[in-house]
Structure 1
Amino acid sequence: MDLLFVADPLEGFKTYKDSTFAMMREAARRGHGLLHCEARALGWQSGGSVVAETRRIELTGDADDWFRVVATQRTRLADTGAVLMRQDPPFDSEYFYATHLLGQAEREGARVFNKPAALREHPEKLAIMEFPQFTPPTLVTRDAAAVRAFHAEHHDVILKPLDGMGGMGIFRVGADGLNLGSIIETLNAGGTRTLMVQRYLPEIVQGDKRVLIIGGKPVPFVLARIPQGSEIRGNLAAGGKGVAQPLAARDREIAEAMGPVLAARGLLLVGLDVIGERITEINVTSPTCFQEIQQQTGFDVAAMFVDALQAAIAA
């Protein structure tokens, strides 16, 4: 069957670490056809179906010129075996509109993963608030006074924008409150933007662990993204070092509690960010770390994913 990947431009993929590429490679190995388009290629004309201008590709096995375009075609999304929404964040207004187009495609019979409605209902930072038993003390607000009160209570805090990605816009403020006012002004823009504040978790020095959940079940290894030098951020995009580790008992407890709940909502693939014993983010747009885990442990995350995808399509 044909699998349509809605993703960023293929020309920008770093195939040695890209998880979408790993999915494509495993799907092709099993004989599935590969289609690609960017979200901007989606369209819907009144009286018609949701379609996209797509490229049918084949993988070459070459590290640089890794794909070739076999054909370009206009594709009705409902005519594919599945649509995989793998566009990277940020979740902006255009991403939001894309989920509505994909939702219409679902109504026409398309199988979309992760489900468009679930993507909208689980903003990656806010989604943790549903599971307070697994999170650090957290505040979401526009109110500068509330942020100051939270800092006064917890003394050492992390502040971040709700729409950040790759560690962008993350600040730590210690007990002395140095620069707290300036940071609040920067993040909430005079009370016009919502921000998140969390108690600082010192376990970050051991890594910000990416716990992958596929089809409601945890991958048996995590990637601990360890801050380097004076950084407080473990994100790989911010220079963190990725070290694969077996799933710890607490990681498994969290994943097994949350996994079935999220899977039942149409989230086939989820990436939890866990620091110490607490989740700080639930990634649903395009969770990564497939290849780093496989390269370091031998566990084939992409194979587990395609197994779950095929099972979901057949269900």
Structure 2
Amino acid sequence: MILCCGEALIDMIPGADGAYRPHTGGAVFNTAIALGRLGARAGMLTGLSRDPFGALLKAELHASDVDTSLAIRSDRLTTLAFVQLVEGKASYTFYDENSAGRMIRPGDLPELTAEVGALFFGGISLVMEPGAGTYAALLKREAASRVVMIDPNIRPGFVTDAPRYRARLAELIGLSDILKVSDEDLDWLVPGPGAAADKLARLPGPRVAIVTEGAAGATAYFPSGESVTVAGRRVTVADTVGAGDSFNAGLLARLAAAGFLDKTALAGITPAAVQGAMEYANGVAAVTVSRAGANPPWAHELGPA
């Protein structure tokens, strides 16, 4: 199982009439949904409310074949993110105080069985306490024995203590096996001029570090100094919601199918194998951006592997 660890929330999105309507979301939630639809064995570890929005999130996960048995249930409320759209760009106002997702603590964490082979972390769940510290504790507890991927998916407007957040991410990246960042994420993590390879060299290094650049494609960097690049795919874009999350899921699904989500196997992975996984991930993301919202494809929609 690939266990996605992080936020599951409700995006309140305005319609043409200006009225807000609820949509399930969250970067880690979207990645879990996409993994399940791609046929990977996926699970979700999150703080999940028993309120109606929590029930909606759980139902959406189950509908995409995602296991929720490790979710931490409570009677606290679900996090809401109100979306404002200005000239096509989205900004967010979060209602997150004392929420079911934010208030999980290390003592709430379940023990993981051998069926969990890899863990995925990222999103706003790594920002706000006490939940951020709880996910960090889980990553530190499991990193020695399970493959860990992290995509910080940084939202600068949500960060109130940048030095502390940078320090946490640097520590967690140093313990991870696979890092995915956008070019904007990397510029925020390592401010100032410099090529991506030089900036990544200033971070503690995972075995594979992938930098995405939207339509320009993605490049994977390796400790050996090697790198491989895949071009972006040309599609008619409806919106880019969930694109990075779908890329993450496609990458993990393809690595899992090839047997690389194992510490020993990943140590021997070749640039060619990562390049193939990124090509597949690009295909998954291309379908997602071609339709409105975070609506990743099912495996049968992608055609032959």
Tell me the TM-score range normalised by the shorter chain. Answer: 0.3 to 0.5
Rg (Cα) greater in structure:
1
Task: Name the TM-score, length of structure 2 as normaliser.
Answer: 0.35
**Structure with the larger strand share:** 1
TM-score, length-scaled by structure 1? 0.34
